[in-house]
Structure 1
Amino acid sequence: MKYVIILVDGMADYKIESLGMKTPLDVADIPAITNLAQSGEIGMVKTIPEAMSPGSDIANLSVMGYDPKIYHKGRSPLEAASMGVDLTATDVTFRCNLVTLEGDGPYESKTITDHSAGDISTEEAKILIEHLAAELETDDIKYYPGVSYRHLILWKNGPYDYDLTPPHDVLGQNIKPHLPKGPYKDIILEIMKKSYDMLKDHPVNLNRISKGLNPANSAWIWGEGKKPSLDSFKDKYGVGGSVISAVDLIQGIGVLAGLNPIKVEGATGTIHTNFDGKALAAVEALKNGDDFVYIHLEAPDECGHQGDLNGKIKSIELIDEKVVAPVFKGLKALEEPFRILILPDHRTPVALRTHTSDPVPYVLFDSNKISRKENQRFTEDSASESGNYFDSGVALANYFFKK
């Protein structure tokens, strides 16, 4: 039996007036996913446990069968695992976004307008992070460039008592109420303030501004955490395999779970990512002996954060055409039983531009259990009306792998 999970980050949404009170999933042209829904099972799953933040770290741990209430130690240490950064038990890590701030006056008076600095390229971002590191690094605080706007700060033997806010939760808002809190807030805030002074007139940003692009004019520090440990995925479910994603978070979960992270050239985490390459890599991994592949696709989430409705719909359609259809075709060509699970990790409503904890729809196709339901669709309403419901991502993962 082969198993594939296609995680479409932030795909689910709310009904939108301009779409005739429909959701992006309602209006998207997704024939491949529709075929799986008509031949399989649809339902709803609550991927975010009560009282936990609706982040991709918590949701993806849940969908992969790891109870976040037990295994979650913060977002950034999962990313550190992907980046090959060795942590001790006393180290503290932080996610360091490159963001766009606007407004005159002191730092505290500014507004955050873009959590990703216009999806800044990895090459440009590396220059900026290395510029910050050259002046701000100490013996204890180190900077590690990542992918696009997503980077890492490591504080050796650092304190661990903060109240830090994800930048995508406060888009369009004045930053003052959302700046770091806690006993060590002044150290983190000082880094953020200095980063603005260092980056606002940097040549990389001046060039971006001249092209009409958002500048990466500040670091935003959040997602603190300590060294995590995950049980072996193969021990849990009896299958080994790979993870495919543009982002360090998902690759890091894979590394810690004992799965092989496959890096695809041109994978960016945006609507301009190499969808074809991800699908090809998944099919090749299954051909070459993997029993399981986890394919993570970030584009709908990024469009949701940007408030880009048309982009979100288009990204869902591209995933259907360039990932779901070829992966399904590749699995059929292997001529052995297989199961496919497709779902978002959380909702990223275009109207809110951030994540929510609402249950999300799933579709599960089993090549051994095909039962046609011609009117069944993969939408939030249809999945809710099916009557199938899992109260956690872990419960759905156990069901998917027949544990």
Structure 2
Amino acid sequence: MIIDGMGDRPIKELGDKTPLEAAKTPNMDKMVERGICGIMDPIRPGIRAGSDTSHISILGYDPYEVYTGRGPFEAAGVGLKVLPGDIAFRCNFSTADSDGIITDRRAGRIREGTEEIAAAINGMVIADDVEVIFKESTGHRAVLVLRGEGLSDQISDADPKHEGKPPKKVVPLDDTKEAARTADILNMIVSKSYDVLKDLPINLERIEAGENPANIIIPRGAGAVPYVEPFGDKYGLKPVCIAETGLIKGIGNITGMDLIDIEGATGGIDTNLENIERGILDTAALDYDFLLINVDGADEAGHDGQLDEKIKFIEKVDDMLARLMEIEDAYFILTADHSTPISTMDHTGDPVPILINGPEVKVDDVKIFSERAAAKGGLCRIQGCNVMDILMDLMNKSTKFGA
């Protein structure tokens, strides 16, 4: 179970505690008392991991070999079948003013009406020999796929990363004509999206209601679909994934996991944790050997600099764990995929806490689940790529190395 973005740094307002240290987490603490813990660098010490690359690493794949960009995983996560030669992007529905300046990168955390907005972009004609495929994901997220000859994923992002700036001009990252052509096409799509969306009825309704309109799309994370050895073949396990965002669903899809959709799972602090809990318990009773779970609200709060909301979300997840801890004859790994500190409002390379419960685990002396306390645990400091090796060994399913 990965609590996305849970890790943080000491905050003065909390007496130099982290949100996890400040939160009331009796169930996480109970899990620590029954298990072994440590801290984990999702990729390597000091590397600022994305949610995609960190999950790839934790699942035992080398992100430096598998990862071509975030787009293909997002596309797979929303159910698009990406074909060889397709170039996929993750996108934000964003808000731009009449001067082309981005005033809200997430369009007010839009939750409703995105299907209608996506339909206005899907099929946009830019070049006769390039098909534009566009589909909404969860919340402000969406996916763009370009299908045609002579395209490349070696192009930069359009995302300015901060409000108050126009979309970045997309440029080729190599000297090929394919990269130059793809960059030109993407720039035209971004520009045309504003013209198509600014007067869309749903956006006019949002403006009238005092909400930011989703009147432009911002693509980033270009990538071609990688070949990935199916998780089930790699480990001899039957895997399933419960996740909220298209990105993590896409990682589950591309690695060959079954996907369980949860109603009301928004990927934000307003997500329906009761439904997620019920889905986990129902799925645990099925014929699966491995369950990957991701909840995203702590990461959203970190990106938005919402200290109180991050603490509250961690406490809500802790409450959910009371029922999950009742699952018998299982190994339960609880961790984060990266830190998203309130102070930076972005991912950092700080290590995250990790704990393991289950049969024959060598219980250590740690009593509290937090970044600092976990550092004193029996797992010491590990990397994400170590997690599956440790789990397979505990399950007595690992292969002996040597005589």
Q: Which amino acid aligns with 2:136?
A: P
Q: State which drifts further: 27-36 or 148-157.
A: 148-157
Q: Which amino acid aligns with 1:398?
A: D
CA distance in 2, matches of 1:150, 1:225: 17
Counterpart position of 1:190: 188
User: 1:36: how far off?
Assistant: 0.7
**Which residue among 306, 313, 316 is the counterpart of 2:314?**
316
CA distance in 2, matches of 1:232, 1:113: 38
Secondary structure of the residue aligned to 1:307 is coil
Q: State which drifts further: 358-367 or 26-35.
A: 358-367
1:31 maps onto 2:42 in alignment: no
CA distance in 2, matches of 1:369, 1:250: 28
Secondary structure of the residue aligned to 1:174 is coil
CA distance in 2, matches of 1:319, 1:362: 15
Counterpart position of 1:3: none
User: 1:344: how far off?
Assistant: 0.9
CA distance in 2, matches of 1:68, 1:372: 31
Counterpart position of 1:14: 9
Counterpart position of 2:346: 354
User: 1:206: how far off?
Assistant: 2.7
Q: State which drifts further: 310-319 or 210-219.
A: 210-219
Q: Which amino acid aligns with 2:21?
A: D
Q: State which drifts further: 301-310 or 154-163.
A: 154-163
Matched-pair contact (CA < 8 Å) for 1:54–1:357: yes
**Which residue among 114, 133, 147 is the counterpart of 2:138?**
147
1:136/1:295 Cα in 2 relative to 1: closer, same or farther (>3 Å)? same
CA distance in 1, matches of 2:103, 2:379: 40
What is the aligned-residue RMSD (CA, Å)? 2.3
Aligned pairs (5 A) from 1:269-348 = 269-322=267-320, 324-329=321-326, 331-332=327-328, 337-348=329-340
Percent identical among aligned pairs is 31
CA distance in 2, matches of 1:29, 1:92: 44
TM (norm. structure 2) is 0.87
Number of aligned residue pairs: give it. Answer: 382
Q: Deviations over 1:12-32 (max 9, x none)?
A: 111111111111101111111
Counterpart position of 1:237: 235
User: 1:134: how far off?
Assistant: 5.4
Q: Deviations over 1:51-103 (max 9, x none)?
A: 9762111011111111111211221111222333223321111112102345x
Q: Which amino acid aligns with 1:381?
A: R
Q: Which amino acid aligns with 2:275?
A: G
1:386 maps onto 2:358 in alignment: no
Matched-pair contact (CA < 8 Å) for 1:47–1:59: yes
CA distance in 2, matches of 1:382, 1:69: 31
Query: What 5-or-longer segments of structure 1 have no aligned partner?
Result: 1-5
Matched-pair contact (CA < 8 Å) for 1:39–1:370: no
CA distance in 1, matches of 2:214, 2:159: 16
Matched-pair contact (CA < 8 Å) for 1:78–1:228: no
Secondary structure of the residue aligned to 2:325 is helix
**Which residue among 158, 162, 166 is the counterpart of 1:171?**
162
User: 1:347: how far off?
Assistant: 1.0
User: 1:153: how far off?
Assistant: 1.3
1:8/1:136 Cα in 2 relative to 1: closer, same or farther (>3 Å)? farther
1:83 maps onto 2:39 in alignment: no
1:12/1:198 Cα in 2 relative to 1: closer, same or farther (>3 Å)? same
Secondary structure of the residue aligned to 1:320 is helix
TM (norm. structure 1) is 0.87
Counterpart position of 2:176: none
Matched-pair contact (CA < 8 Å) for 2:23–2:315: yes
Q: Which amino acid aligns with 2:39?
A: M
Matched-pair contact (CA < 8 Å) for 2:43–2:385: no
Secondary structure of the residue aligned to 1:281 is helix
CA distance in 1, matches of 2:236, 2:7: 30
Matched-pair contact (CA < 8 Å) for 1:243–1:260: yes
Q: Deviations over 1:161-198 (max 9, x none)?
A: 2121656xx2345246x442223433222221222233
Aligned pairs (5 A) from 1:246-261 = 246-261=244-259
CA distance in 1, matches of 2:113, 2:14: 37
1:388/1:91 Cα in 2 relative to 1: closer, same or farther (>3 Å)? same
User: 1:229: how far off?
Assistant: 2.0
Query: What 5-or-longer segments of structure 2 have no aligned partner?
Result: 173-179, 399-403
